[in-house]
Amino acid sequence: MAQSNGRTPRLEGVEFTPVIIGAAATQITTASIPPLAKSVVVTSAVDANAFIVLPPLNSCPNGHEILILCSAGGNFEMRTPSASAEEINSENCDGTNEYLMTDTQVVKVVKVNNTIGWMAHGYSAIGAVVTAVVPD
């Protein structure tokens, strides 16, 4: 741990301030979650086919968790980087399949490892665990 102001400990490279992004119709930088981000707020989506992109698996340690607050005003999707063959919940999500992100939910994403990929699970606004999503 490093000292950020002489008193408050922080982890090097870990982003604690929420990253604010919008879901987009194409894979652009502004719709990509930066490596080591811990909290992401999605504030807009052009339509239900718009998507956000998880960081590449090799840019995050095993066990890395990201909380995504779905505040886009409508549903959108989540993918892994284009042509990566990386998975979410055991499905290739580099454009072949997408994980449905339901507005007002909180989605917890955990990197299992570089082979298995990401585990994602949603929670309702009142904290109830929602039905598991199989990307399609």
| Amino acid 26: pLDDT | 80
- Tens of pLDDT, residues 37-92: 999 999 999 899 999 999 999 999 999 999 999 999 999 999 999 999 999 999 99
Q: What structural domains does the chain harbor?
A: 2-123 (2.60.120)
**Per-residue pLDDT averaged across 97-118, rounded?**
97
- Quick one: pLDDT band at residue 9, thresholds 50, 70, 90? very low
> HEC string of the chain?
CEECCCCCEECCCCECCCEEEEEECCCCHHHECCCCECEEEEEEECCCCCEEECCCHHHCCCCCEEEEEECCCCCEEEECCCCCCCEECCEECCCCCCEEECCCCEEEEEEEECCCEEEEEEECCCCCECCCCCCC
Q: Which of 47-51, 52-56, 99-103, 112-116 has the lowest mean pLDDT?
A: 47-51
Whole-model pTM: value is 0.86
